[in-house]
């Protein structure tokens, strides 16, 4: 996998689209599509800032970035749909199922056992869905 | 750095003490000491469960574990003292200042700009303190 | 729309009932009814304090109050049923669909993109439901 | 009900199993079973630390411990499945339905009306389910 | 201590004042006084709803109510001044220092170790202050 | 005050700088300056996305946007420095002190009395500081 998203000739939107496709795959496209009728400009922002700006920065690889995101969304405990998208993204950028499970379990220390339990159940669902569609 | 904390002859408390010393250094010992007069049993739990159980597990290296913790504490936004301890821990286990800054900046996407800003100011304080005592 | 809820002869409960009916409409009555068998006193408190005391105060109009409530519930991210009630309330007191969408989008800045996304999906559901029943 | 969980010959896991069975009953066993295929070690941690360590401590009775847990989970507002388990646990350790309703209502003061409302709806569901299976 | 706050001839404000004085003592009066210049009506609401309505209800004794409040404020982790007021209130209504410490420690299970640690440090401060002024 | 920030010849950064200066004044410049040594790119993002993209959108006036932000930051309860900046910004875009106080008081309904109290104390500090420097 190449992570050289920074390309001066490319717009933030183009760069973001490439990053989103590589990281989130179909799950990311689905989120963007679901915004088309209610807030199309927000779909652009979602691609531009998180993916065109942040994930495209060279200072941290995508594996580390997905560890951070899975940890944060598990700990916050109020964003189940996004956590599922990023558990799948974690697999896409090279994290193993066991590593994702370790990250979520660790959140029991910082955000409590309910947050970790709900994170594990989200992972279980994502892993089962991927297994069923493989 | 060796991460072979799992040693069957060792108790959770002994294993946790070794992990805490390696990861958190003096900052960890200070937290434990500050609990001595109010809740000494809690000091034991802090060493046993997070460090003796979780951080000692072989499935994820300490670098990845600190990425997860720094991300979560930044995103939660209500645990500044613990975030500072883990920014220092991140440096102890091999993360660079720039990598820590990247992790915290990324949290703007998931927890908002105020959480990321307050995380960056915590990092600035930790980095300055380390510089001053070197 | 008149907002002269303050009427000295009226009890807090009566004033709250009038405000609740005007602001939340049927959605508010449904919440109150659903409390009848488990916590009828709480139904009274819901009418008295938020509606009889706070929303009836003359210092801020209902449009501004619903902007504040939609923003807060989107940012908190853990109260989807109440957010939907107040998206409908926002329409009742004169906010347009586009204005509500703007408020929710803005929360990406303060509470992160997942909170804003989940708020937009809640709005989409409310708008579709109103369209279907018109 | 005896609360003498502290027994020096017993391991944390054995002590935790006894406490979990008494407090959470079948709901607790169900949670543990659901972790078997994704994170069996986490099932062990759930039994050992919360139940083997914390709930088994002699300094606070189970009734007080469940008041604290129901209050916290209602206030946090992002752990509905765990709140339901502990509403049932509250009944198991001797809290009445009315007392549980009082605890949840009080959370309106500290965490807002939406958190209290969602807590009351969770209680309503648990009470109805118990009634249906009695 | 008598908890018969419900007195039909008394207004909510009068009943709230009596409850506030008994539960929060001087700390409560200080909060009310500090609102005088910025939001005097809010001082009235603080007395009326939490104390005149909720704490005055007969269905749960003040000891149980303070267990619930200390637990919730520790778990939420973003209201240190109010947590300190209620640790003092807990002592006023008969909780021992050890019981308060147990409640806060238990929150590590539901809200993570940082929330419990910060709660314990708040308790340490309150206990030291009371000792110094005795 | 003109709010026609959308100017096609202008970059997001230029547009954001103008919006930031008008809305946050010196407080905004201070935040940007404080990032210069630790995360200069983040200073750019803070100007570009919140101010160049969101606050510059024509669909909602600045008065409404600051109502939303003050409400959200009060309700979240974990971003005191940013809340203070936006209380000042609220005054800059035309909200009165009384209106700001109303917005914060209303948050007691959605996020609890501690969040509202801490918001009021933040406002008191900002109002006093402005008075002292006038």
Alpha helices in chain D (DSSP H): 12-34, 40-46, 62-76, 80-92, 97-111, 113-133
Residues whose CB is less than 8 angstroms from the CB of residue F20 and which lie 6 or more positions away in sequence, other chains included? F28, F29, F32, F47, F51
pLDDT value of position E7? 60
pLDDT at F2 over 50: no
| φ/ψ (deg, to 5) at D101 | -60, -40
Quick one: pLDDT at residue D90? 98
D114, C45: Cβ pair inside 8 Å?
Answer: no
In B, which residues are within 8 Å of D53 by CB distance?
A: 45, 49
The pLDDT tens digits of the residues spanning F58-99 come to 999 999 999 999 999 999 999 999 999 999 999 999 999 999
Q: Which residue has the higher pLDDT, A12 or A134?
A: A12
**Global pTM value:** 0.95
> Per the CB < 8 Å rule, is C113 touching B109?
yes
Q: State whether A121 and D78 contact (CB < 8 Å).
A: no
Q: What's the alpha-carbon Rg for chain B, to the nearest Å?
A: 15
Name the nearest CA neighbour of A71 among B104, D39, B68: B68
pLDDT tens digits, one per residue of E19-36 = 999 999 888 899 999 999
* SS3 per residue for A16-78: HHHHHHHHHHHHHHHHHHHCCCCCHHHHHHHHHHHHHHHHCCCCCCHHHHHHHHHHHHHHHCC
Rounded to the nearest 10°, the torsion over CA A28, F60, F115, C89 is -90
Q: Taking 70 as the threshold, does the pLDDT of residue D36 lie above it?
A: yes
Number of neighbouring beta carbons within 10 Å of residue E43 = 17
Instruction: Supply the pLDDT for residue E69.
Output: 98
**Rounded Cα gap, residues C23 and F104, in angstroms:** 19
The contact set of B with A (CB < 8 A) is 49-50, 54-55, 57, 59-60, 64-65, 67-76, 79, 82, 98-99, 101-103, 105-111
**Mean pLDDT score, A4-22:** 83
pLDDT of residue A133: 79
Gap between the Cα atoms of F31 and F48, Å rounded: 14
Cα–Cα distance for residue pair B67/E50, rounded to 1 Å:
41
Closest Cβ opposite residue F45 in set A41, A45, A53:
A53
pLDDT at E132: 81
Rounded-to-integer distance, Cα D3 and Cα D61, Å:
8
Residue B99 makes CB contacts below 8 A (sequence gap 6+) with: A59, A60, A64, B67, B90
**Contact assignment for B60 to A111 by CB distance below 8 Å:** no
Instruction: Calculate mean pLDDT across residues E109-127.
Output: 98
pLDDT tens profile C69-95: 999 999 999 999 999 999 999 999 999
Question: Which residue in chain E is spatially nearest to A76 when comparing CA positions?
Answer: E111
Question: Is residue E39 predicted with pLDDT exceeding 70?
Answer: yes
Q: Mark yes or no for CB contact F42/B123 under 8 Å.
A: no
Question: Please, which chains are in contact with F (at least 3 CB pairs closer than 8 A)?
Answer: A, B, C, D, E
User: Which one, of D99, B32, A99, B1, lies nearest residue E67 by Cα?
Assistant: D99
**Per-residue pLDDT reduced to its tens digit, C19-65:** 999 999 888 899 999 999 999 999 999 999 999 999 999 999 999 99
pLDDT classification of B5: cutoffs 50, 70, 90? low
At residue A81, the pLDDT reads 97
Q: DSSP secondary structure string, chain E?
A: -------TTS-HHHHHHHHHHHHHHHHHHHHHHHTTTT-HHHHHHHIIIIIIIIIT-TTS-HHHHHHHHHHHHHHH-S-HHHHHHHHHHHHHTT--HHHHHHHHHHHHHHH-HHHHHHHHHHHHHHHHHHHHH-
The overall average pLDDT reported for chain A is 93
**Smallest Cα–Cα separation from D80: which of C78, E75, A82, E111?**
C78
List phi, psi (to 5°) of B8. Answer: -60, -25
- Answer yes or no: are the C-beta atoms of E127 and E90 closer than 8 Å: no
Give the Cα separation of F17 and E134 in Å (integer). 55
Q: Which chains touch B (3 or more CB pairs under 8 A)?
A: A, C, D, E, F
Query: How many beta-carbon pairs below 8 A join chains C and D?
Result: 47
Q: In this complex, do C110 and B114 lie within 8 Å of one another by their Cβ atoms?
A: yes
Other Cβ atoms less than 10 A from the Cβ of C1: the count is 10
- Residue with the bigger pLDDT between E4 and E89: it is E89
* Contacts of residue F132, Cβ cutoff 8 Å, sequence gap at least 6: none
Numbered residues of chain F with Cβ closer than 8 Å to any chain A Cβ: 41, 45, 49, 53, 57
The more confident residue out of D83 and E9 is D83
Task: Determine the Cα–Cα distance for residues E78 and E119; give it in Å rounded to an integer.
Answer: 10
CB contact under 8 A, F114 and D114: no
Tell me how crowded residue A4 is: count the other CB atoms within 10 A of its CB.
7
Instruction: Give yes or no for residue F38 having a pLDDT over 80.
Output: yes
Nearest to D77 by CA among D110, D46, D111: D111
**Beta carbons of B88 and C92 less than 8 angstroms apart:** no
**Helix boundaries (H) for chain B:** 12-34, 40-46, 62-76, 80-92, 97-111, 113-133
CB neighbours (10 Å) of residue A99? Answer: 20
Q: Give the rounded distance of the alpha carbon of C59 from its chain centre.
A: 18
CA torsion, ordered C66, C71, C77, C82, to nearest 10 deg: 0
Lowest mean pLDDT: which of A39-53, D78-92, F15-29?
A: F15-29
| Alpha-carbon Rg for chain A in angstroms | 15
Buried b (16+ CB within 10 A) or exposed e, A114-131: bbbbbbbbbbbebbeeee
Query: Tell me, what's the pLDDT at B131?
Result: 79
- Within 8 A of D114 by CB-CB distance, chain F residues are 110
Angle at C100 between CA C96 and CA C105, to 5 degrees: 145
Neighbouring chains to C with at least 3 Cβ pairs closer than 8 Å: A, B, D, E, F
Q: State the helix-helix crossing angle for B62-76 and B80-92, rounded to 10 degrees.
A: 160
How many distinct helices (H) and strands (E) make up chain F? 6, 0
Instruction: Please say if the pLDDT value at position B2 is more than 90.
Output: no
- DSSP 8-state secondary structure symbol assigned to residue D10: S
C14-48 b/e with 16+ CB inside 10 Å = b?
ebbbbbbebbbeebbeebbeebeebbeebbbbbbb
pLDDT in tens, A87-117: 999 999 999 999 999 999 999 999 999 999 9
Q: What percent of chain E has pLDDT over 70?
A: 93
Per-residue b/e over A59-79, b at no fewer than 16 CB within 10 Å? ebebbbbbbbbbbbbbbbbbb
DSSP state of D47: I
As a whole number of angstroms, the distance between CA B27 and CA B22 comes to: 11
Average pLDDT over residues D119-123: 98
**Chain D residue at shortest CA distance from F109:** D112
Where residue F118 falls among pLDDT bands split at 50, 70, 90? very high
Handedness of CA F93, F99, F103, F104 (dihedral sign): positive
CA distances to B19, E41, E52, E85 from E12, in Å: 55, 14, 5, 22
Q: Are F119 and D122 in contact (CB under 8 A)?
A: no
ipTM reported for the complex, 2 dp: 0.93
* Per-residue pLDDT band at A5 (split at 50, 70, 90): low
Q: Cβ D120–C42 below 8 Å, yes or no? A: yes
Strands (E), chain F: none
Angle ∠(B96,B58,B76) on CA atoms, nearest 5: 55
What is the spatial distance between Cα B6 and Cα A128, in angstroms, rounded to a whole number? 31
Dihedral pair phi/psi, residue E118, rounded to 5°: -65, -35
């Amino acid at each position: 996998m190449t992570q050289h998203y920074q390309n001066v000739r490319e717009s933030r939107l183009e760069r973001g689209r490439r990053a989103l496709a590589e990281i989130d795959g179909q799950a990311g496209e689905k989120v963007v599509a679901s915004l088309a009728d209610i807030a199309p400009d927000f779909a652009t922002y979602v691609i531009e800032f998180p993916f065109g700006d942040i994930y495209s920065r060279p200072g941290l690889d995508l594996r580390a970035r997905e560890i951070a995101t899975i940890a944060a969304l598990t700990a916050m405990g109020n964003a189940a749909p996004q956590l599922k998208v990023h558990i799948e993204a974690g697999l896409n950028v090279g994290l193993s199922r066991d590593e994702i499970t370790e990250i979520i379990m660790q959140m029991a220390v910082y955000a409590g056992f309910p947050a970790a339990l709900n994170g594990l159940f989200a992972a279980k669902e994502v892993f089962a869905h991927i297994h069923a569609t493989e």
